[in-house]
């Protein structure tokens, strides 16, 4: 099995399942082959596999392989290819210690295919193109941000006319945002980070908008200590009041630097159903027990493991620290529980050392 064969299979699978259909057998077969290849080709993943005493050739399903914790991206290069072949290096948001995770990307076409297919299915299922207003820096301002890269592609794939970037090198541009929101040219997709939405909320004062019918809001990302934490429900209520859209038109996106595929809430496609993340057919998302790493039963809370066929050049199995539970074929993301049990004394030291 070669890298190019795996990449070709990943392209084909994403293309085939872009309509929302599922073929878990084909997905798992590809993940198994990719993980076996990565165990031999990606040094830190290979060490993890060896440490867990997994024989890549004997493993029969992706579940037989360990998932690489996201923290490893902060401490080691996770890639099968040399740095000279990097097309991009996406980096995680800075921590207080300055240690940022890095995800070297060799082949952006896989990223593009996965991102486009998921957004088309969950975020733009009803329109080919629409006005885009973006509350995030574009990729020129943030060349190592996977989110900025994705939104820049959205501007090409989904924007009607020129997308409006309301975030400039000076930060939020309130005039640009107001001008875009007050136009009469049809529905708007307002896309941005939670942090940016909070910032905009504070900057807009008493201004209220009523976005045209068919508009939608996509918010993504946590707060990363950059603003006070706001619960998802409270955040949606703020957005509804500020922009005049129904909460069923507000969609959360779940993506991370360490993954090339994204998940979206099902709200736009199934407004009457409880919110959950749609797991694209080429992604396997499983909450696991933090101690045993075995899948937890449906409805029980675990930490989310995500297997993504698009991660051919790094590690297809990623272990996050996010709390989640499985609900049918979807995932309910719980984030970090409020009042989480303190980790004891080491937490204070971690704060002091800035390792958070």
Tell me which residues touch another protein (CB under 8 A).
44-45, 47-48, 51-52, 66-72, 74-76, 289-291, 293, 301-303, 319-323, 336-337, 340-353, 355
CB of 111 to another protein, least distance (A): 23
- Inter-residue contact 8 to 309 (CB < 8 Å): no
Q: Where are the alpha helices (DSSP H) in the chain?
A: 3-17, 24-41, 43-51, 72-75, 108-122, 146-157, 174-182, 194-203, 232-243, 345-353
211/303 with CB nearer another protein: 303
- Inter-residue contact 159 to 189 (CB < 8 Å): no
CB of 292 to another protein, least distance (A): 8
d(C-alpha 303, C-alpha 323), whole Å: 5
Beta strand pairing call for 317-327 and 68-69: parallel
133/317 with CB nearer another protein: 317
CB of 252 to another protein, least distance (A): 20
C-beta atoms surrounding 4 within 10 Å: 10
272/345 with CB nearer another protein: 345
CB of 176 to another protein, least distance (A): 37
CB of 52 to another protein, least distance (A): 7
52/129 with CB nearer another protein: 52
125/335 with CB nearer another protein: 335
CB of 333 to another protein, least distance (A): 13
Sign of CA dihedral 150, 156, 160, 165: positive
HEC secondary structure over 301-332? CEEEEEEECCCCCCCCEEEEEEEEEEECCEEE
270/334 with CB nearer another protein: 334
């Amino acid at each position: 099995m070669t890298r190019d064969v795996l990449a070709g299979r990943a392209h084909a699978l994403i293309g085939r399942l872009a309509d929302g259909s599922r073929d878990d057998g084909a997905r798992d077969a590809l993940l198994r082959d990719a993980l076996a290849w990565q165990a031999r080709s990606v040094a830190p993943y290979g060490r993890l596999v060896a440490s867990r005493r997994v024989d890549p050739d004997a493993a029969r399903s992706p579940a037989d392989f360990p998932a690489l914790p996201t923290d490893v991206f902060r401490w080691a290069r996770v890639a099968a290819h040399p740095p000279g072949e990097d097309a991009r290096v996406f980096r995680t948001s800075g921590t207080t210690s300055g240690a940022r995770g890095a995800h070297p990307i060799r082949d952006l076409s896989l990223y593009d295919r996965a991102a486009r297919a998921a957004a088309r299915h969950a975020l733009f299922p009803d329109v080919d193109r629409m006005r885009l207003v973006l509350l995030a820096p574009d990729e020129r301002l943030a060349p190592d941000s996977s989110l900025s890269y994705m939104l820049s592609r959205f501007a090409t794939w989904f924007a009607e006319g020129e997308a409006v970037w309301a975030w400039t090198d000076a930060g939020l541009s309130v005039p640009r945002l107001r001008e875009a929101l007050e136009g009469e040219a049809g529905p708007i997709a307002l896309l941005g980070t939670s942090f940016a939405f909070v910032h905009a909320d504070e900057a807009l004062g008493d201004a209220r908008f009523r976005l045209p019918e068919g508009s939608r809001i996509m918010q993504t990302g946590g707060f990363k200590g950059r603003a006070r934490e706001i619960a998802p429900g409270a955040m949606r209520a703020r957005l509804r009041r500020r922009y005049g859209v129904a909460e069923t038109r507000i969609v959360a996106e779940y993506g991370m630097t360490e993954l090339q595929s994204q998940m979206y809430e099902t709200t736009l496609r199934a407004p009457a159903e409880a919110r959950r993340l749609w797991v694209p057919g080429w992604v396997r998302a499983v909450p696991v027990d933090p101690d045993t790493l075995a899948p937890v039963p449906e409805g029980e809370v675990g930490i989310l493991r995500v297997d993504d066929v698009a991660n051919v050049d790094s590690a297809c199995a990623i272990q996050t620290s996010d709390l989640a539970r499985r609900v049918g074929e979807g995932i309910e993301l719980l984030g970090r529980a409020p009042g989480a049990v303190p980790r004891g004394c080491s937490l204070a030291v971690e704060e002091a050392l800035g390792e958070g």
